[in-house]
Every structure is written in structure tokens, then in C-alpha cells.
Chain A
Amino acid sequence: MTATRMPLAKALNESLRKAMEDDPKVLVMGEDVGKLGGVFRITDGLQKDFGEERVIDTPLAESGIIGTAIGLALRGYRPVAEIQFDGFVFPAYDQIVTQLAKMHARALGKVKVPVVIRIPYAGGIGAVEHHSESPEALFAHVAGLKCVSPSNSSDAYWMLRQAIESDDPVIFFEPKRRYWDKGEVDTSTVPGPGLHSARIAREGTDATLAAYGPMVKTCLEAAAAAEEEGRSLEVVDLRSISPVDFDTVQRSVEKTRRLVVVHEAPVFLGAGAEIAARITERCFYHLEAPVLRVGGFHAPYPPARLEDEYLPGLDRVLDAVDRALAY
């Protein structure tokens, strides 16, 4: 079967549909996911085809959504819960951190809680407050959770399938500003990299850019611009934020000797800090420059008219590359 070109949002929809067809235990639940198909239409048409028992419009209570998803998982279901926007997840944070993440371990492996939590996250769509945040580090820090973020349509389709098949809770961060970007999806062949493997998105020799989710495209654009200036940048699409595939990053850095980590989330104690520390340990004698980070500021996400200043763009990424190359 040949690949089909589709937007990232449509790939997620197809992924959910196939998962529900394959396994009657898969449920979709969240605010407005039924008749409306979700505010981003990711669940469009699913309730019509699978019914209200499997595509569940929930009360507007995030802790309730995740708490009942845990109970459904304990009963043998595989709930895929949608949190409508990144900034709305915090009422559920207690259930996610205190209950969901720890339940398998505290039961000494006797129970499993295969809950997937989909969160449209990050900025770039000119939204109001609490609709543009990148809280992934707050979840990646918690043992028992897995955190992933696709950057393109094919990964959106396959990583969501793999997240639903996982017996562990997975926080699935969807780059909402890339929902409408189109890419090839081959739904007939399971792709090579597993859910938690990084991927070389572009090969290069002078420095490595590591990113995930919405910033992969930004980094690819930066690499294309750098090429015109005679610089060869390698781009690693991390795909998974917990665990991180350090081996792939290490191999890249051993080749390029320079690393810049890029994410929208604030730099301070973000995923980039962990990657910088680990890669410094692993590649100390290969590095020609300190690992640099580009990301959001230690400030609340700004009003939409200022988000282009807050979000890392091509120029800020290339500025960091310049600094890395200047050592």
C-alpha cells in the first residue's frame, strides 16, 4: 500500500480509529470529544462510528477524567483521555502524578494502568492565556510516566498506536501548531523506530540540533538556512521526552562535536538541561563547546502578540549555533 498524504491532525484521527477497530477495549474520553469531535477535531466522527459508550463526552472536570480513566483501566479498558489544552491539565496533575504514575509499582506489578493522555500543547497559534504552554518537563520528571511528542504525520499515526498498545501510562503531547502540516503516512507498515527512539531528521557534520514536537520543523528550517551559509547541521528528532534516547544523540554529537537543544518550554530545568548534563557526561572528550539550550523564558507564557518573541525561532536557533561554533 502506498503512503497517503495527510495533515498531522488527520493522522491522529486515523490512528485512534484504527486502534478502536482493532481493540474493543480502547475508549476515547474527554471534553467535547463526542459530537463535536474535539475542539481541534482530532476525534471527529469517532462517536458516530463507535457510539457513546466508547467515545465519551465527559463532565468538565479534568481530575475526574483521569481518575475515572484509571478506574476504567483497572477494569481492563484502555482509555485514551483528551485534555483539551495544555494549561487545563493541572486539575488532573494529582491523579496523574500521585495515582496513575505509581499504581503499577505500588501494586508490585499486579495491576496495569494503560491510560494514554493526549494533550494539545505548545504555542504559535495566537491563543489566549493557558492555551499555549509546554508543561512536558513536569511530567517527564515523574517516574512511571512516559512522555512522547510527534513532529510529523507519520509519527503522529504510529506513535499514538504504540502509546495505546503500551501497558504503561503515556502522556502524548501533540504539537497543536503543526496539526495542519501535511506529511506522508503509510498505515500498512510499522515503521522502524520504537516509541522511545530518536530519529535523525537531517544529516549534518558541523553541529547537532536536538528537538521534539513543534520545534523539529523549526530546527529543520534553521538547518536549511544554515546550509546556504555553508554550515552543515544535523537535526535529531527526539520523539520521546521520557525516556530520552541518549544513544542516538550521543552518536550524533560524537560526529558533530557540538549540541544545541531546542524546546518551547522554559530553559530552566527543562528537558534540555537533562540532555546537556547526560551528553556532557557521555561525550566530554568529544565536545568542542558546551551544550547550549534554546527555549522559553522563565516567565509566564506571554500574550499572543508577544509569542513570536518568546518562542524559539530560526534566528535564535542559529544564534546558538553561532555561539557553539565560536568556541
Chain B
Amino acid sequence: MTVEGTAARSATRRSGGTGKRASAARKKKAASGDPELVQLLTPEGERVEHPDYAFDPTPDELRGLYRDMLLTRRFDAEATALQRQGELGLWASLLGQEAAQIGSARALRDDDYVFPTYREHGVAWVRGVDPTNLLGMFRGVNHGGWDPNSNNFHLYTIVIGSQTLHATGYAMGVAKDGADSAVVAYFGDGASSQGDVAEAFTFAAVYNAPVVFFCQNNQWAISEPTERQSRVPIYQRAAGFGFPGVRVDGNDVLACLAVTKAALERARSGQGPMLVEAFTYRMGAHTTSDDPTKYRRDEEREAWEVKDPILRLRTLLEKEKLADKEFLDSIDEESDALAKRVRDAVRTMPNPDTTAIFEHVYADGNALVDEERAQYAAYLESFEPEEGEQS
């Protein structure tokens, strides 16, 4: 481990770590073998301890996390299928990143605020955004179909990294209000190269803003590996900005939850920002338009398959006898129902009215927009109605 990494970790321990707990009998002490990686649940489904991040979920919590991840994966698969069927123009799959998203999102309070990229379907699910609302932009009927303030979940941001500044500004506002909410900015390994992310780190640090930077390092920025973005592990960058960074096993839902919770508590208590790098893998293509066979080997994907986030939690649930057949069947049924609901919703999703082009361009109205709207309406009016069409 480098000097920077050590500094970052010890800063975490001073302020955000929840301390070492008395060991539960079922937990083993061994970690993953990677000293930099926070892990609480191994790929084999074994609970392990970490000195800084103790977490003892109840059986209900464990089952809840399993349900969240399974339903999110099913929704994601359904959306991919809908794209293949021509119902969506594009889909950005989260396959493989369920633990990073569900774990981090389950650490949030209702009054916290989330600024996502365009792949945070699992976070949206946890925040209570109806999954069908996520599909409007991929079908091409809107650019984001939900009210950000209903679930404290901002619209998807497509230009990578931009939202980290919005999150930081929002967090500065939270601090000015004297509130103890926190803000999470999601971004990826590719976005970590953007100047806006560096500026967000700077602003968050100097104003001590209550924001958690949650980077899902899924190893690939379309075709470019993380080595094209950084010479050091991404979490180590935080040290240079003056706040702690930590790398967590992004396929370990328990570790993602525990680490994010600690980072959020740290932010709430006035200790400022923290960077969490969730080390995970994009199992699918970048989007449905991408072809990963052009740039990465199957062996790499296969090596990550055994680290699957859902599989390892299921192994734990079964081993601990926390999930009986009835529970597992009920989730399968719920998952089928969700898929059907999503399918039906997308297939019946209406196209927007023509005049929607001119709506909400300005909050206070605008003479030019009004003029063009009227001109275009008059143009459309100038056509004879087609036979059978209501005039």
C-alpha cells in the first residue's frame, strides 16, 4: 500500500469507522487477500470482519437486500430485452453492479439526496422511483420522466462527471441550511478523468461539504480500461484533495452498505466529503449499442462471474437458513410480475404531444418560444386532415 492509501485509511479510522466489534461466531477473520479492499462477504458467501466497518444485518435486512438486487437484475434484463424488441432505443445495463448500487442506496436516509449517472437503476429502485419512469428517456419520449424532489433522486446525467458538481453545490446548500442530510454523487471510472470531478473534489474539500463521492469502478469506460484513466487506484486520489478515500468490494452488498453508511455519517457530522471506490465489473456491454468482444476477453468476464453479487448473498442466506423455498419463490413471482408490468408500461407508453417540444424551455416564458410554437401550430393546421382523421 502506498503512503497516500495509508493516510486515507487512517483518516477514515479516526472519524468515520464504526470500530471493531466483538466477533460473531460465524464470521471469519480472513479478508479477501487484497489489503486495500473492504470486504464483509466473500465470493464464497462467507462473512468476514473488517476492523473499520462492522456490520451485523438482521435476517430481514439480508433478505431485503437479496430481494432488491434480484428485482433490479430482472428489471434490467427486461429492459435489455425491450431494447432488442425495438421498444427502447437504447439501454445501459447495470448487470454486475447490483451490490454497489443496492448496498450504497440502502445506506441512505430519505432526506439524503442522490445525483446519479445514467446507469443507477438499482439506486433508483431503492429511492422509490418507479422503474417504468426510468424507461422514458431510453424509449425517447422524454429526457427524464420523474420529479427529482419526490424521491430526492436527481435526473440521470449523461455527460459524465457533470453531476458531481451539482451534488457538491447541493451539499453546500445543505450545510448552509444547517441540515444534517448528506448527498451522494455517483460516477464511474471513466468520469474520474473529467475536470468536473476534480473540481467537485476541490469544492467539496474546501467547503467541507457533506457529500459522498461514490465511484463505481466497473473496469471499463466503454472500450477503455481503468489503466487509461489512472495510474493509481482511484480511491487514492482523495488523499491529494484532503479527504479520505476507500476501496470497497463492489460486488459485496454488505461492504458497500457499511462503507457508504460510515461515509454518510461522517458527512452528516460535519467531517466533510469522502470518496468510496466500489470495485466491481460491468458484466454486460456499455450499452445495447456496444460490442465488448472488440476490446475485452471472455476470460476476464468469466473470472468476475464467480464473484457475482447476488450469488454470494444467496449462498449466505441458504447456508444460514435464512431463505426458505417459500421466500425464494415469492421473489421469483414478484420478479415475473415486475417484468410484466414494465413490459406493458413500455409498450403502451404514449408518444409526447408535438407541442411538448416547446414546453418548459423557460420557467418564466419566452417570446421567441411562444412565436415559434404559434408558427408551428399554424403550419400543422394548414394541412387537410387525412381521411378518417379527426380534424
> Which A residues lie at the B interface, using CB under 8 A?
53, 58-59, 61, 63-64, 66-77, 91, 94-95, 98-99, 102-112, 114, 143-144, 146, 166-168, 196, 242-245
Contact = CB atoms under 8 A, between A and B. Distances in A.
Given A67-B169, A69-B169, A74-B166, A59 B199 contact: yes
Given A61-B202, A104-B363, A242-B368, 20 more contacts: A64-B199, A67-B164, A67-B169, A71-B165, A71-B166, A72-B169, A74-B148, A74-B166, A74-B169, A74-B170, A94-B196, A99-B159, A105-B143, A105-B361, A107-B147, A108-B142, A108-B144, A111-B149, A112-B363, A166-B364
16 contacts: A59-B199, A59-B202, A64-B196, A64-B202, A64-B203, A67-B199, A70-B165, A75-B172, A75-B177, A77-B176, A99-B157, A99-B166, A107-B148, A109-B359, A109-B360, A168-B363
Contact of B148 (A94, A110, A166): A110
Given A59-B202, A94-B162, A144 B362 contact: yes
Nearest to B365: A168
A95 B196 contact: yes
B174 A75 contact: yes
Contact of A110 (B149, B157, B200, B202): B149
A70 B144 CA distance: 18
A104 B147 contact: no
A114 B169 CA distance: 14
B168 interface: yes
B195 interface: yes
Contacts of A245: 367
Interface size class of B (residues with CB under 8 A): 35 or more
Nearest to B143: A106
Contacts of A244: 368
A108 B145 contact: yes
Interface in B73-97: none
A108 B149 CA distance: 13
Given A70-B165, A99-B166, A108-B360, A243 B143 contact: no
B167 A71 contact: yes
Interface in B124-164: 142-149, 154-155, 157, 159, 162, 164
A75 B199 contact: no
B390 interface: no
A77 to B, nearest CB: 5
Contacts of B196: 63-64, 67, 94-95
Nearest to B363: A167
Contacts of B362: 104, 144, 146, 168
Contact of A71 (B159, B173, B360, B369): B173
Nearest to A64: B199
B261 to A, nearest CB: 23
A102 B368 CA distance: 16
B162 A99 contact: yes
Nearest to B195: A63
Contact of A98 (B162, B199, B202, B360): B162
Contact of B155 (A63, A77, A106): A106
B391 interface: no
B355 interface: no
Contacts, number: 138
A98 B367 CA distance: 22
B195 to A, nearest CB: 6
A166 B164 CA distance: 26
Contact of A63 (B144, B146, B165, B171): B165
B382 interface: no
A167 B362 CA distance: 8
B208 to A, nearest CB: 12
Nearest to A98: B159
Nearest to A167: B363
Nearest to B174: A75
Interface in B324-368: 359-364, 366-368
B360 A105 contact: yes
B242 to A, nearest CB: 12
Contacts of B143: 102, 105-106
Q: Name the 9 nearest CB pairs between A and B, nearest first.
A: A71-B169, A67-B165, A75-B173, A68-B169, A64-B199, A106-B143, A167-B363, A71-B170, A109-B360
B206 interface: yes
A265 to B, nearest CB: 19
A69 B173 CA distance: 10
Nearest to A106: B143
Nearest to B144: A106
Nearest to A61: B199
Nearest to B175: A53
A11 B129 CA distance: 47
A75 to B, nearest CB: 3
Given A63-B195, A67-B200, A144-B362, A243 B170 contact: no
B384 to A, nearest CB: 27
A64 B203 CA distance: 7
A193 to B, nearest CB: 13
Contacts of A63: 165, 195-196, 199
B136 to A, nearest CB: 10
Contacts of A73: 169
A146 B363 CA distance: 11
A120 B51 CA distance: 54
A72 B363 contact: no
